[in-house]
Amino acid sequence: MSTIQNTALQRKRFKPGRSRRGRAWKALSRAPLSAWFGIVVVLTYAGTALFAPQLAPYGEAQVFPEPFAPWSADFVLGTDQLGRDVLTRLIYGARNTLGIAVITTTLSFFFGVSLGVTAALLKGWVDQALSRSVDIVLSIPGLIFSLMLLAIFGSNVWSLILIIAVLDSTNFYRLARTSGLSVASMEFIEAARLRGERPTWIVFREILPNILPPLIAEAGLRFCFVFLTISALSFLGVGIQPPTADWGSMVRENATLITYGDITPLLPAAAIGLLTVAVNFVVDWFLTNLSGIKDGH
């Protein structure tokens, strides 16, 4: 058997169908409690975001006569500085904050991976031009760059999504380029080129299947950073704009209650922290399975 054939046989392929689902269920059954905790929390947040109109007791921007009303049967978590129900704002905040974070992470994944794989495959001046551009963007602190761009283009939802997606895509670019260069130098890629395969075929059939797992894990981590960035920008007043509910802006709007011993402003902050921890638990478990490390506990 030739070296190229032997290399092709040794490559790890993702087998579709029942066997793949069986491996997934087997991995889930062996998952540690931290991973199950993360999965349950993430699914709970996702369900809350999807069914926010059905779960919320009032309208997202509905205003009542009593601002800063205490916790009661009518207002389970009280009202904010304008008289809006805090529980309703928390529920709708899950939909708005998570929805924007998911869209932003998806776009940054697409931009970064596309350019990273292109640089790894073409190399030469294309690789140099893209890499130096990414280095320039990375040399500027992300939050400061975001504030500057939002001041220029305005603080609307689509500006927020596109600016953060472009800035965050640099992390996907670096990982995709590094992983792609490792795969592109292997013998089965040379064999594909010698067979006359098109570059798009090589990318989607040869390179991407071999670098996708670490990229998916990176997407989970980047989602946390994007989520926290959106909340930080909203806290500073340049992120998601009112009357749209957002956890970051809810902390800022109700911060004065802390001086009176009211924990209401801490609830959206706790929601942010809990989701961040849960996603990290799931990503950590995924990376452990990917690396083949066995947990002895």
Q: Which of 272, 284, 214 is nearest to 39 (CA)?
A: 284
Q: Which residues contact 236 (CB under 8 A, 6 or more apart)?
A: 147, 252
Residue 7 has pLDDT above 50, yes or no: no
Model confidence at 21, in pLDDT bands (50, 70, 90)?
A: low
Model confidence at 41, in pLDDT bands (50, 70, 90)?
A: very high
Report if residue 27 sits inside a domain.
no
Most confident of 44-48, 63-67, 142-146, 220-224: 44-48
Model confidence at 13, in pLDDT bands (50, 70, 90)?
A: very low
Q: What is the pLDDT of residue 107?
A: 94
Question: Regarding predicted confidence, which is higher, 62 or 199?
Answer: 62
Q: Which of 184, 185, 198, 204 is nearest to 114 (CA)?
A: 204
Mean pLDDT (the chain) is 82
Domain that holds residue 123: 33-291
The CATH number of whichever domain residue 88 belongs to comes to 1.10.3720.10
Report if residue 2 sits inside a domain.
no
Stretch 249-253: mean pLDDT, rounded?
85
Q: What is the pLDDT of residue 5?
A: 43
Stretch 136-147: mean pLDDT, rounded?
85
Residue 69 has pLDDT above 80, yes or no: yes
Q: What is the pLDDT of residue 290?
A: 66
User: Which residue has 């959206």 as its token pair?
Assistant: 268
Query: What is the b/e burial string over 172-191, where b = at least 16 CB atoms within 10 angstroms of the residue's CB?
Result: bbbbbbebbbebbeeebbeb
Of 15-24, 67-76, 187-196, the least confident:
15-24
Q: What is the pLDDT of residue 296?
A: 43
Cα 156 to its chain centre, rounded Å, is 20
Distance CA 202, CA 208 (A): 9
Please check whether residue 147 is in contact with residue 238, taking contact to mean a CB–CB distance below 8 angstroms.
yes
Model confidence at 254, in pLDDT bands (50, 70, 90)?
A: confident
Q: Is 194 helix (H, G, I), strand (E, B) or coil?
A: helix
Question: DSSP per residue over 218-257, as a string?
Answer: HHHHHHHHHHHHHHHHHHTTSSSPTTS--HHHHHHHTGGG
Report if residue 73 sits inside a domain.
yes
CA distances to 128, 130, 131, 132, 180 from 125, rounded to whole Å, are 5, 8, 10, 10, 16
Residue 4 has pLDDT above 80, yes or no: no
Model confidence at 293, in pLDDT bands (50, 70, 90)?
A: very low
What percent of the chain has a predicted confidence (pLDDT) above 90? 21
Number of domains in the chain: 1
Q: What is the pLDDT of residue 108?
A: 93
User: pLDDT per residue over 153-173, tens digit each?
Assistant: 887 888 889 999 999 999 999
User: Which residue has 């071999």 as its token pair?
Assistant: 210
Distance CA 153, CA 283 (A): 34
Q: What is the pLDDT of residue 46?
A: 92
Distance CA 128, CA 131 (A): 5
Distance CA 280, CA 220 (A): 7
Report if residue 14 sits inside a domain.
no
Residue 1 has pLDDT above 60, yes or no: no
Question: Regarding predicted confidence, which is higher, 14 or 201?
Answer: 201
Q: What is the pLDDT of residue 18?
A: 53
Structure tokens at 121: 């495959």
Model confidence at 37, in pLDDT bands (50, 70, 90)?
A: very high
Structure tokens at 150: 């939002």
